[in-house]
Amino acid sequence: MAIELYKTRGIVLRNINYSDTSIITTIYTELFGLQSYMLKGAKKKSPIKATIFQPLALLELVVYKKEKKHIQFLKEANVEYFFTSVPNNPVKISILFFLNEVLLKSACGEEKNTELFSFIHHSLKTLDSMKENFVNFHLVFLIRLTKHLGFFPRENFSEISTSVFDMCEGKFVQAIPSHAEFISLPESKLFYKLLSCDYHSVSNLFLTHSQRKKLLNNLLLFYRVHIRGMENILSHEILSQFFANNHPSVCD
67 φ, ψ to 5°?
Answer: -60, 145
> In this prediction, what percent of the chain has a pLDDT beyond 70?
90
Residue (of 126, 127, 107, 129) closest to 117 by Cα position = 107
pTM: 0.91
- Is residue 203 within a helix (H) or strand (E), and if so which, with residue range? none
Lowest mean pLDDT among 14-18, 53-57, 86-90, 239-243: 239-243
Per-residue pLDDT reduced to its tens digit, 85-123: 999 999 999 999 999 999 998 867 778 999 999 999 999
Per-residue pLDDT reduced to its tens digit, 216-245: 999 999 999 999 878 777 666 666 666 666
CB 96 within 8 A of CB 127: yes
End-to-end CA distance of the chain: 60
Given a cut of 60, whether residue 22 has pLDDT beyond it is yes
> Alpha-carbon distance 167 to 183, whole Å?
8
Per-residue pLDDT reduced to its tens digit, 131-164: 988 999 999 999 999 999 999 999 999 999 999 9
CB 144 within 8 A of CB 119: yes
> Alpha-carbon distance 141 to 152, whole Å?
12
Task: Please report the pLDDT score of residue 2 as a whole number.
Answer: 65
